[in-house]
Amino acid sequence: MKWIALIAVTLTGSLLLFGVGDFPEWGDPHSPANQGPKLKSGEQVSKAVSQDFLTETYEVTKVPNVVTAVLADYRGYDTMFETVVVFAAGLAIFAILRVFGDGSDTPPMRAVEDDTFVEGDHSRIIIGTTCKLLIPIIQLFALYVIAHGHYSPGGGFQGGVIMGASFILLAIARDLKSALDWFSEKNFMTLASVGILIYAGLGVLCQFFERNFLDYGALKVFMISSDHPEQMARSYSMLGVEIGVAFTVTAIMFAIYANLSSRGELKEGL
């Protein structure tokens, strides 16, 4: 078997190396992906989309962060399904791991506490206090990352992961139970669906104004006091879908951790 793997790896590697031969220069501003494919005679075959993305994004969407505009508007359909992928991953973990019942027949995950810490539980105090201080800051930062996705690097996926991590930190520092008190299973499974509903719902809302799915410009009727209603509608809708993404990612991050760390019983974590 090792030989087969070796042959497969060698073949793939040499195939990739073979392809490198005709690559454009590293960082070449005239490469096909940057400026559009050209023939050897110098004739331009077509314009590259990336150029239009760079020059026209602010014009059309009033969003300074081009990456977010590509992600949430031009290719918002892709991003919606990426969120669905996250959602499906959480559901898959739930479907495979989650066990219902008292779970008394399975041995506990946590090793029996040894009595190294005799007087009080100093480690607990230090960790507990640090987490108490840190978690609100982490969550605030997560909200900042989500809300500023269309101005600066960030967005729903990143912010959602940070938000989910704050709950995971709580579960690690104290125990899964106290984390679940804050964020119960019913809540996170619902929140995951709500996230998708926000994203797809915004898209369908555009269809009610006789535009295509996810054509945020349709929502300009809600931008009453703006000079550029259509562009602002795009900008705010991007924030809207980012919030939807963040909901799903937060919920699923914690759901995956909770199910994995407790063997699907959601009783006692690591």
76 vs 269, beta carbon nearer other proteins: 76
Which of 195, 236, 197 is closest to 216 using CA atoms?
Answer: 236
Q: Is the dihedral of CA 147, 151, 153, 156 positive or negative?
A: positive
59 vs 115, beta carbon nearer other proteins: 59
What is the rounded CA–CA span in Å between residue 13 and residue 197? 43
* Angle, alpha carbons 268-126-123 (nearest 5°): 60
161 vs 173, beta carbon nearer other proteins: 161
145 vs 192, beta carbon nearer other proteins: 192
Q: Is the dihedral of CA 157, 160, 162, 165 positive or negative?
A: negative
Please, what is the minimum distance in Å from the beta carbon of residue 149 to other proteins? 18
158 vs 235, beta carbon nearer other proteins: 235
Please, what is the minimum distance in Å from the beta carbon of residue 119 to other proteins? 45
Please, what is the minimum distance in Å from the beta carbon of residue 193 to other proteins? 4
Residue 172 near residue 260 (C-beta atoms within 8 A) = no
Tell me the two tokens of residue 136: 């609100």
Please, what is the minimum distance in Å from the beta carbon of residue 241 to other proteins? 11
Residue 21, CA distances (Å) to 42, 61, 93 in order: 20, 39, 42
* Angle, alpha carbons 181-187-188 (nearest 5°): 100
Please, what is the minimum distance in Å from the beta carbon of residue 98 to other proteins? 7
